[in-house]
Structure 1
Amino acid sequence: MFNKELEVTLHKASTDQMKQKPDQSNLGFGQIFTDHMFTMRWTRQDGWHKAAIEPYDNFIVDPAAMVFHYGQAIFEGMKAYRGKDDQIFLFRPADNLNRMNQSAVRMCMPRFPQDRVLQALRAMVYLDQEWVPGTEGASLYIRPTMIASEPALGLRPAEEYIFFIICCPVGAYYAEGFSPTKIYVEDEFVRAVPGGVGNAKTAGNYAASLKAQLNAHDKGYTQVLWLDAIEHRYVEEVGTSNIFFLIEGELITPPLEGSILPGITRDSVLQLARDWGYQVSERRITIDEVLAAGKSGALKESFGTGTAAVISPVGEFCYKEQCVQINGGAAGDLAKRLYDELQAIQFGYQEDPHKWRVRVG
């Protein structure tokens, strides 16, 4: 249940509530937050209500809130870009909000009115537009989130929820920037199982990945590559990204079979690669095939895709002490072309034939 005529109120931050803008040359990722946030509430009786753009602040949640006990929490990640002629743009925001509603259905949470939320998001970004960085490669990261707020114990879907959106100016996601990352192939832990919640962007998926992520870091690797939960053979995705392989002219990415997040950047890359005439395959691929292609030289490139890093080239995989270097450890031509193309579209410096870009204001 939701109110299609949901009204959004605006409470601007006062001068003393506004924060000092950060140094754009040292933004990091996810540490500094803007002056405003968007919130709204849902109850079974009233549907979505109390929608407001308001000063960024804490909100009170009961210790018995069901999110703490049963894990009903979903979120999204998108960005705003300061581009051509100082305009602010969003990239495929409706697709992110649609995916969030799909996550809500899977987690037994209420769907929200996407059009009204997108309107509120655009208004909030416009209000905080001075927070959108102007330095190369930087952007404003946007985090919509929904949590179960009903104070009750007992395993069932909650009957009260809080939806909120916060924003933070960000630089490069990886310290390496566009330099290739080293990835450890996880062969003990698993990320998701068929029939589970791997295709939902729910908080528990990320909590479950932390142990393997820490182990990989301890071994000197930036990220984890997950294998399937049944046979531990088929490649699924990287900890924060979908994964691609360029093997002898074929661009391969694992198919969406319920245990992989349907990435917006993944979908954009598939479309661009098809536009450029590449042979594109969404098919199952084993880690043995990847390693064999790497050893023979058939594996020309590999890269991850996601909102945070956009395109993240992979320079090395390590699996059961077998390490394979890709393209001499350097970023490949296709990864660089995709990164440049997506950034040019996102920042408004290039034509947008697929109508992915949305202007703010």
Structure 2
Amino acid sequence: MTAHSIHIEKTTNPKQKPASNQLVFGKYFTDHMFILDYEEGKGWHSARIVPYQPITLDPAARVFHYGQTVFEGLKAYLTADEKVLLFRPEQNFKRLNRSNERISIPALDEELALEALRQLIVTDRDWIPNEEGTSLYIRPFIIATQASLGVSPSLQYQFMIIMSPVGAYYAEGIHPVKIYVESDYVRAVKGGTGVAKTAGNYAAGLKAQEEATSKGYSQVLWLDGIHRKYIEEVGSMNVFFKISGTVVTPALNGSILDGITRNSILQLLRHWNIPVEERQLSIDEIYEAYSNNTLEEAFGTGTAAVISPVGQLLWNDHQMIINEGKTGELSKKLYDTLTGIQKGEVEDPFGWMVEVTDQLVRANG
């Protein structure tokens, strides 16, 4: 299949677009969606852009019963001079294929996926908001569609891309969030599916998130599933701590998602010659640093929130107020720099941004 064989069916009933200043995360969806089918023996086929619509599945579709599904998340940004930019989109499709491998889903043609995304964005370009802090969130995903209750990989799948104009992920925006450290529930262990972006990982975290929310906390910080002491990640973000001038983040250990924003922040920090360590990090070490006044900042990184400062941690009975509950200087600099690069307002020395035009091109040439 070539990238130019994508059939486009335009809607005859466009939706009313929400006001940019009224956007929340993941509530509104654009006029169109992309669909690609897979069948054993035939491969991926029938690439098409169609009006956004419900999908019909057999009640025995394997996604419902065995959770064979993966997804990604990325954003499109509108610059001041009306250019449309994507942030490292090829990395999302590389990671999608790594998730596919872990969940026994056939690999996608990454070039076709990028071309499908380009054409979908061009089709729904008018949906990209331009208010400060807004963007077009993009959700590629794959589901197993074979109607069969046998416990084995599906022989049929659908790959889809939907898009949603969004505001800030957290109501707090760039202001610090409160994080609850989970000591009882386990989300993932090495050898499990923590390295894949699959729905089951998120379902496994809902109960702990529910309890954290009831206590007034925005998110859950997960500890490792074996010792229950080593920091892994927040439910929707990788996590970083600045201790005595050095930024420390948990090393990728087989149960932590390889975040694209995480990787980008590490590159930025090293570009600035700020000491960085990727290593095993215990909650006891964090509490000791807090007690010694050497815990200077904490922040999360992810596509949805970009940079989210952490102003408070609750671990058992220990409440840690970080940097007086204020956004730290480094967190703010990272947020301003990364969002500036994404919006085309700050120089992109890494070649991260891709412009969406009649083709995908690096924004810095």
Q: TM-score, normalised by structure 2?
A: 0.97
Shift of 1:5: 6.1
Once the two structures are superposed, the pairs formed by residues 1-361 of structure 1 within 5 Å of their partners are 3=1, 7-14=5-12, 17-361=13-357
Q: Any conservation in 2 of the 1:6–1:51 contact (CA below 8 Å)?
A: no
Listed as ranges, the gaps of 5+ residues in structure 2 are 358-365
Q: Aligned partners of 1:344 and 1:202: how far apart in 2? A: 30
Equivalent residue of 1:54, what SS? strand
Q: Any conservation in 1 of the 2:3–2:111 contact (CA below 8 Å)?
A: no
Q: Any conservation in 1 of the 2:96–2:197 contact (CA below 8 Å)?
A: yes
Q: Aligned partners of 2:156 and 2:116: how far apart in 1? A: 21
What is the number of equivalent residue pairs in this alignment? 357
Q: Aligned partners of 2:10 and 2:3: how far apart in 1? A: 22
Q: Any conservation in 2 of the 1:6–1:48 contact (CA below 8 Å)?
A: no
Distance change (3 Å), C-alpha of 1:59 and 1:48: same
* 4+ residue runs over 2 A deviation: 3-7
Q: Aligned partners of 2:315 and 2:190: how far apart in 1? A: 23
Shift of 1:84: 3.1
Q: Aligned partners of 2:48 and 2:19: how far apart in 1? A: 29
Shift of 1:7: 2.2
Q: Any conservation in 2 of the 1:38–1:54 contact (CA below 8 Å)?
A: yes
Q: Aligned partners of 2:317 and 2:301: how far apart in 1? A: 25
Q: Which amino acid aligns with 1:18?
A: P
RMSD: 0.9
Q: Which amino acid aligns with 1:257?
A: N
Equivalent residue of 1:96, what SS? helix
Residue by residue over 1:192-247, the C-alpha shift from the partner in whole angstroms, topping out at 9 and shown as x without a partner, is 01110001000000001000000001111111000000000100000100000000
Residue by residue over 1:324-354, the C-alpha shift from the partner in whole angstroms, topping out at 9 and shown as x without a partner, is 1100000001110010011111011122111
Q: TM-score, normalised by structure 1?
A: 0.98
Listed as ranges, the gaps of 5+ residues in structure 1 are none
Q: Aligned partners of 2:295 and 2:186: how far apart in 1? A: 25
Q: Which amino acid aligns with 2:7?
A: T
Residue by residue over 1:57-79, the C-alpha shift from the partner in whole angstroms, topping out at 9 and shown as x without a partner, is 11211100000000001000000
Q: Any conservation in 2 of the 1:6–1:49 contact (CA below 8 Å)?
A: no
Residue by residue over 1:161-215, the C-alpha shift from the partner in whole angstroms, topping out at 9 and shown as x without a partner, is 0000000000000001111001110000011011100010000000010000000
Q: Aligned partners of 1:45 and 1:6: how far apart in 2? A: 22
Q: Aligned partners of 1:149 and 1:59: how far apart in 2? A: 11
Q: Aligned partners of 1:61 and 1:78: how far apart in 2? A: 26
Equivalent residue of 1:37, what SS? strand
Equivalent residue of 1:246, what SS? strand
Equivalent residue of 1:200, what SS? coil
Q: Any conservation in 2 of the 1:265–1:307 contact (CA below 8 Å)?
A: yes
Q: Any conservation in 1 of the 2:142–2:157 contact (CA below 8 Å)?
A: yes
Residue by residue over 1:289-314, the C-alpha shift from the partner in whole angstroms, topping out at 9 and shown as x without a partner, is 00111121101000000000000000
Equivalent residue of 2:172, what SS? coil
Q: Which amino acid aligns with 2:8?
A: L
Equivalent residue of 1:258, what SS? coil
Equivalent residue of 2:205, what SS? helix
Q: Any conservation in 2 of the 1:82–1:89 contact (CA below 8 Å)?
A: yes
Q: Any conservation in 2 of the 1:98–1:114 contact (CA below 8 Å)?
A: yes
Q: Percent identical across equivalent pairs? A: 52
